[in-house]
A = this chain, B = another copy of it.
Amino acid sequence: MSTQARIGWEDVRAEALRRIRAREWPAGALIPSEEALAQELGCARTTVNRALRSLAESGLLDRRRRAGTRVAELPVRAAKLNIPLIAEEIRARGAAPSHRCLARSEETPPPAVAAALGTDAARPLLHVETLYLADARPFAHELRWINPAGVKGAAAADFAQTAANEWLLRHAPFSHGTLDYCARLPAPEAAAALDCDTAQPTLVLDRTTHGAEASITWVRLTYAPGYHFTITL
């Protein structure tokens, strides 16, 4: 009698991956149906489905009803990008995180910010400027506009104690948003806070966050020169 181990969806996934890599299933080719694979590998169709769905999510397969499953011509790899709290990011780099609330006021925002948040350009928003430090060295400078209509309690929050980004994450559940990375020379106030030359390139992240009803916040994060972020595939 054979001591067959039970076939799991990860086994099926691995086998399919092997066939793709070995070109047994060439790029663009139609692969066997779930039904056929299930029979061949000796497991339920559900299990095959789970495995192939996983590969499709990674961009290695194209699946369409009726048309069947094909090996992607150009494997567009999809990477999972985690967007942690800044404090977590600093900790992950082996440094001790801290922050300083540099400024806080209520002002009418620049038109671009009002547009991004969809607020009346004449209405004042909460404006917060924060410096994040790693082992007491400047790590990133944050310039933030908060829409009071989208977050209740923001006016009373103490951002010296809890950093603005963490406070918002806890109190303003958001549903969607946009990240935008680019390389720039730092704005004068960012360079001053980061204690760096205005001629040194910095990585700048603009983020807009919306809740279910109203917009929540617009942030410009200027990372200290030399910052780089890594994604593993």
Binding site for B on A (CB under 8 A): 20-21, 23, 27, 59, 73-85, 88, 166, 169-170, 173, 175-185, 199, 201-204, 212, 223, 225-233
Within the complex, the shortest CB–CB distance from A91 to chain B, in Å, comes to 13
Residue of B nearest to A23 (CB): B173
* Nearest CB of B to A141, in Å: 14
Instruction: Check A59/B76 contact, CB under 8 A, given A231-B179, A233-B176.
Output: no
Hey, which chain B residues are within 8 Å of A212, CB to CB? Answer: 21
A181 touches B166 (CB 8 A): no
User: Does A181 lie within 8 Å of B84, measured CB to CB?
Assistant: no
In the complex, what residues of B have CB within 8 A of residue A79's CB? Answer: 80-81, 83, 179
Q: Is the pair B83, A178 in contact by a Cβ cutoff of 8 Å? A: no
**Residue contacts A-B, CB under 8 angstroms, 8 given:** A80-B80, A80-B81, A176-B232, A181-B228, A183-B183, A183-B223, A184-B201, A201-B201
Closest to A226 in B: B182
Sorted nearest first, the 4 A-B pairs with minimum C-beta distance are A201-B201, A182-B228, A183-B183, A183-B201
Cα-based distance from A225 to B183 in the complex (angstroms): 8
Which residue of chain B has the shortest Cβ distance to A203 in the bound complex? Answer: B183
On chain B, the residues within 8 Å of A232 by CB distance are 176-179
Closest residue to A199 on the B side, CB-wise?
Answer: B199
B76 touches A78 (CB 8 A): no
A22 → B minimal CB distance (Å): 9
Q: A228 with B180: in contact, given A27-B170, A79-B83 (CB under 8 Å)?
A: yes
A222: nearest chain-B partner, CB-CB: B183
Q: Are A80 and B78 in contact (CB under 8 A)?
A: yes
Question: Bound state CA distance, A28 and B153, in angstroms?
Answer: 20
What distance in Å separates the Cβ of A200 from its nearest Cβ neighbour in chain B? 8
B83 touches A78 (CB 8 A): yes
A178 interface neighbour in B20, B85, B233, Cβ under 8 Å: B233
- Judge whether B175 and A21 touch: CB under 8 Å: yes
Q: Please, how many angstroms separate the alpha-carbon atoms of A74 and B176 in the complex? A: 15
A201 and B177 contacting across the interface, CB-CB below 8 Å: no
Is A181's CB under 8 angstroms from B229's CB? yes
7 other A-B residue contacts (CB within 8 Å) besides A59-B82, A74-B85, A181-B231 = A78-B80, A78-B82, A81-B81, A83-B233, A176-B232, A179-B230, A182-B228
